[in-house]
Amino acid sequence: MNLPAPRPRVICVGGSATIDQIFLVDEVKLPSAKLTARQFVETGGGMGANAAVAVQRLGGQAVYWGRVGEDEPGEQVIALLRHEGVDVAGLRALRGFRTKIATVLIDARGERLVVSVQPQGYPPDASWLPLDQVRGAQAVLADTRWPAGAQALFDAAADAGVPSVFDGDAGEPAQVRATALLATHPVLSEPMLAALALGAPEDALPRLFGGRNVGCGVTLGARGALWFDGRTLHAVAAPEVEVVDTLAAGDTWHGAFALALARREPLPQALRYANAAAALKCTRFGGRAGIPSQAELSDFLARV
pLDDT tens per residue across span 147-204: 999 999 999 999 999 999 999 999 999 999 999 999 999 999 999 999 999 999 999 9
Rounded Cα distance, 16 and 119, in Å: 8
What separation in angstroms does the CA of 93 have from each of 74, 78, 89, 99, 123?
7, 9, 11, 9, 12
Q: For the chain, percent helix, then strand, then coil, each to nearest 5?
A: 35, 25, 40
CA 94-88-295 angle, 5° bins? 140
Q: Is the pLDDT of residue 112 over 90?
A: no
User: What pLDDT shows up at residue 6?
Assistant: 86
Do residues 300 and 280 lie in contact, with contact meaning Cβ atoms separated by under 8 Å? Answer: yes
Amino acid at site 40: F
Rounded Cα distance, 241 and 15, in Å: 30
**H-state helical runs in the chain:** 47-57, 72-84, 147-160, 173-180, 190-195, 201-208, 249-262, 267-282, 294-303
* Arithmetic mean of pLDDT, 202-219: 98
User: What pLDDT shows up at residue 109?
Assistant: 83
Q: What is the pTM of this model?
A: 0.95
Would residue 105 be called left, alpha or beta, if left means φ above 0 and alpha means ψ between -120 and 50 degrees? beta
User: What pLDDT shows up at residue 36?
Assistant: 87
Round the average pLDDT of the chain to a whole number and report it: 94
Rounded Cα distance, 104 and 114, in Å: 4
What separation in angstroms does the CA of 200 have from each of 195, 208, 243?
11, 12, 25
Amino acid at site 200: A
Q: Is the pLDDT of residue 5 over 80?
A: no
DSSP letters, 70-123, are SSHHHHHHHHHHHHHT-B-TTEEEETT---EEEEEEE-TTS-EEEEEE------
Annotate 255-276 with b (16+ C-beta within 10 A) or e (fewer). Answer: bbbbbbbbbeeebeebbbbbbb
225: closest CA among 271, 276, 284, 179?
Answer: 271
Q: Is the pLDDT of residue 299 over 80?
A: yes
pLDDT, tens digit, 9 for 90 and up, residues 29-54: 777 778 888 899 999 999 999 999 99
